[in-house]
Amino acid sequence: MGRLSGKVALVTGAASGIGAACALRFAQEGAQIAGIDVQAPLEGDWPDAAALAGDSPFVQVDIREKEAVFEAVAEIEAALGRVDVLANCAGVGGGGPVHLIPDEEWDRVVDINLKGTLFACQAVIPGMLERGGGSIVNIASVEGIEGFEGGSAYNASKGAVILLTRNMAIDYARKGIRVNAICPGFIDTPLFRSTMNLEGMGHIKERIREAHQLGRFGRPEEIANGVLFMASDEASFVTGQALPVDGGYTAGHRFGVAGMMGLE
């Protein structure tokens, strides 16, 4: 307990899923938390985190709107004094084969996943520079590390988040700002369920589950634990990294040989 005591942590995409789990985890570790999201928090998520952390401002804003993001961060800094930790969890899925994906769908996915991450970083970094340090953790994806059929816009946006993370780590390291990324596997969130529970997706969902070497999908709190490590001083010598938290999804492939060795 207390790994973020005395810190102020801002979470984007904080209303549900991984963002809400990060806010709660940060609060459990002593952080003063703030959140922004385009939607209001789901009942039982943000209020629980706020109860642990006292005054926890939540600003409803579209992460794609740069001016609005800057105003939200300014409001949060005025209320809490500063932002020491930024967790960029706002994101959406989407894609399709490139010859069919509409321009507006491509722009929606890239603008939220990539530009939204950029805008939040741009808003908090000046304050971090002024105070001599901070920690930024971006949520990328295993789909930013390797391809996934039909994932053109999503994969491109998350791959770009990883390289943006590394570039920022280089640019700001000597100013005391660490920048890392977490690459989740397939995590049981509202966004995940909205896709995987569509008609005809049952057998695909099962194959994706099997592609995780642990044989299951992840939970939001398991991603939040990875984000907490990167955000905390326990990761004081870690920057520019993209850490998969994926149940072995990117470890390799299974073809049945383990069963022959009695390991199934």
Q: Are 59 and 80 in contact (CB under 8 A)?
A: no
The pLDDT of residue 258 is 76
The domain made up of 8-260 is a member of CATH 3.40.50.720: yes
What's the pLDDT tens digit per position in 180-233? Answer: 999 999 999 888 888 888 788 889 999 999 999 999 999 999 999 999 999 999
Residue tagged active-site, from 106, 154, 217, 249: 154
Which residue has better confidence, 41 or 204?
Answer: 204
Domain ranges of the chain: 8-260
Per-residue pLDDT at 157: 98
Other C-beta atoms lying within 10 Å of the C-beta of residue 152: 21
At 53, the pLDDT band (50, 70, 90 cuts) reads: low
Q: How far apart are CA 25 and CA 28, in angstroms?
A: 5
Q: Please, what is the average pLDDT of the chain?
A: 93
Contact indicator for 94, 139 with CB cutoff of 8 Å: no
Say which DSSP state 111 is in: I
Closest CA relative to residue 245, chosen from 229, 261, 226: 226
- The residues pairing with 239 across neighbouring beta strands, listed in sequence order, are none
Segment 135-159, tens digit of pLDDT? 999 999 999 999 998 899 999 999 9
Calculated CA dihedral for residues 61, 169, 180, 183, nearest 10 degrees: 90
pLDDT at residue 132 tops 70: yes
Catalytic annotation present for 154: yes
